[in-house]
Structure formats: structure tokens, C-alpha cells
A = this chain, B = another copy of it.
């Protein structure tokens, strides 16, 4: 993690057009800290007390749920520029420990807002309130989509879907990951993933390389 110098107001106007009030943009600029993370860097760990809410302006963040008892985890969704982590809201407001883990999927830059403003601004700036509400809605949608996925679909469909999400997150049709990493995200066995990837290659959905998967078309 590294603190960066950057014109916050400009970034907000560009990536968060829904945040319209000038005064709010100024407040964000004055209290926000611009942080950047290298791809793969841990942003928020399980059990960490969250003190900031991130406004993403670049890159993408992977959000993962972990099962404490057993040693398992499950990918939930990616956050991208223009989005924020509502899980952080919850954690902040309730001042409770985080039960998810976030890592930078690509090199990522974000504006961190100290938690106390989240709430304060809700009553002061309508566009902030709308932004927060819309973010919550989006995340609920994502969670429901995740539920659909694991409840209603089999591993092959889930795998393809995961690959597509991952490609979209990095805006590239090439995915850099090992089968092992994918298996972990999907809470599946590496062998099953390897076999299904082969199948996807045969059906011409992907091209396989070492540490690399290319989405076809």
C-alpha cells in the first residue's frame, strides 16, 4: 500500500458522476486519502477492523468470503472503478470485525474515506445518500447472483461464469491464474477445475496456457 498524490476532485467527477454536490466533492478531497495497491496485495483482511470506506478510481478488487472453521473460501464479486465496498459500511457502522477479505485483483487506486463521514454526509448531501443506497442495492444483487450460481448451477457453468467475471474485472480476455487459485476461489478441487478447463478448451470457449487462460471471442 502506498499513498499517492492525485487530484481527488477531478477523479470524483470522472469516476463518480453521481456525486454531484460541489461542497461534497470538496469535502471528499479534503478528508480522503488516495491509496494505491499492487495487484495481489491484501487490502482488508478478515478480522481487521475497518476504518475507511474505499471509493475505487482504478483497477479492481476481489471480495472473498472465508469459512473460519474449515479452511475454505469463496469468491463473491469484483469491485471496479466507480464502486465502493458496502461490506465496509456494515463493518464500520456496527464497528464489528470484517468477515470478508479483499485483495487487489489488478493494480488499484482508491480514495479512502474515514468512516465517520459516511454517515454524516448521508443527511447532508442527497447525492451521497443516493450513492450509498445504490451501492447497497448493487451489492445485494451481486450476493443474490452468487447464491444463484452456487445453488442452481453446476461447476462447469460456474467456472465459465467466473472466468468471464474475472476477465471483465481486468478488462482483458487473458486471465493470469493457476488452476489451483481458481479452484480456491470457487471452493472446488483443483483436479475438477483442470478437467473442466480442458473441456472448455475442447468446446472452444477458452485457450489454455501455463498460468494463463485466454477467453475465446
Contacts and interface: CB of A to CB of B under 8 A. Distances in A.
A89 B139 contact: no
Nearest to A124: B123
Given A126-B123, A140-B90, A72 B152 contact: yes
Interface in A100-152: 100, 119, 122-123, 126, 129, 133-134, 136-137, 139-141, 143-144, 146-148, 150-152
A34 interface: no
9 contacts: A65-B148, A67-B152, A90-B140, A136-B136, A139-B140, A143-B143, A143-B147, A146-B147, A147-B150
B152 A150 contact: no
Shortest Cβ-Cβ A-B pairs, 8 listed: A90-B137, A143-B143, A67-B152, A74-B151, A136-B136, A150-B150, A150-B151, A123-B123
Interface SS majority for chain A? helix
A134 B96 CA distance: 13
Given A93-B137, A94-B137, 13 more contacts: A67-B148, A70-B152, A72-B152, A86-B140, A90-B136, A94-B134, A100-B144, A122-B129, A123-B126, A129-B129, A143-B143, A146-B147, A147-B147
Interface of A: 65, 67, 70, 72, 74, 76, 86-87, 89-90, 93-94, 99-100, 119, 122-123, 126, 129, 133-134, 136-137, 139-141, 143-144, 146-148, 150-152, 187
Number of copies: 2
A63 to B, nearest CB: 11
A133 B74 contact: no
Contacts of A70: 152
A134 to B, nearest CB: 8
